[in-house]
Structure 1
Amino acid sequence: MRGLLLALLGGACITLQGVANAQISRDIGTWQAATITQLTGFLISLLILLFTRDRKQGWAKRVNPLYITGGGFAAIIIFSEVTAIKGVGVTLTVSALLIAQLLLTFLIDTKGWFGVLKRTMRLPQFIGLGMMVAGVIILKF
């Protein structure tokens, strides 16, 4: 239950961040909005880290260098989301983002990429994915 609630909170924050970034980018520019977002995210994360006193030694050495680059995707995410919101609106943008996430996570789960446990997708998962794609198409028109 906790995981589901945190997923809902994360989804809500993604939407709020996208809308806020779109407004910031209108005032000062898209890359400036990405910079501000990354900086504030870093500072808040650092404060939480210091507050929780999670001082595990050598943590950076235990992480695969490929995965450390994951934070760099945020710049692409912010730019893409802000530009899309300006062009097609919040609802269609978030819907398309969710479908892109689902398609990629589907591949990651079925192929076992990045060390995750391989999972078999069944008909209900395919139907659900198809319904989401159909929903985005309906939203577009």
Structure 2
Amino acid sequence: MRGLLFAFLGGAFITLQGVANSRISQGIGTWQAATLTQLTGFVTALLIVMVMRQGKWRQFKEVKPLYLTGGALAAVIIFGNVTAIHLTGVTLTSSVLLVAQLLMTFLIDINGWFGVAKQKMRLPQFIGIMMMVASVIILRY
């Protein structure tokens, strides 16, 4: 249950962050908004790590270099999200973002990428994905 709560909060905060970044970017530019967001996110995470003192910094060297690109991906995510909100609005952007996330996680699961255990997808999963794609089409038109 806690996992679902955290997923819900994460989704809600992604939307709030996208709207806030969109507003910031109108004043200073999209890449500047991404920079500011990344900086404030870094400072916040650093403060939390310092307060919680649960860091395992010794294992840092064991992290595969590919996985260290997460921050760089976040900058591209912010840019794409902000630009999409400007062009299509918050609702359609969030809907397409969810479908893209679902499709990517589907590919990761069925192929076992990034060390994830392979999952078999059945008809209900395909129907669910198609329903989400249909919902985006309905929202658009």
Structure 1 residue ranges without an equivalent (≥5): none
1:124 corresponds in structure 2 to: 124
Partner of 1:54: 54
Using the size of structure 1 for normalisation, the TM-score is 0.98
Q: Which runs of 4+ in 1 moved over 4 A?
A: none
Structure 1 position 57, deviation (Å): 4.2
Corresponding letter in the other structure for 1:96: V
Alpha-carbon distance, 1:55 to partner: 3.6
What's 2:135 paired with? 135
TM-score normalised by structure 2 residue count: 0.98
CA RMSD of aligned residues (A): 0.7
Aligned to 1:79: 79
Paired amino acid for 1:64: K
5+ unaligned residues in a row in structure 2: which ranges?
none
Distance change in 2, residues 1:117/1:22 (3 Å): same
Percent of aligned pairs sharing the same letter: 67
Cα distance in 1 for residues equivalent to 2:57 and 2:74? 26
- State the match for 2:113 in structure 1: 113
Q: C-alpha displacement at 1:83, in angstroms?
A: 0.4
Which residue pairs with 2:26 in the alignment? 26
Distance 1:4 1:125 in 2: 18
Using the alignment, how far apart are the partners of 2:57 and 2:10 within structure 1? 28
Q: Counterpart of 1:54 in 2: which secondary structure?
A: coil
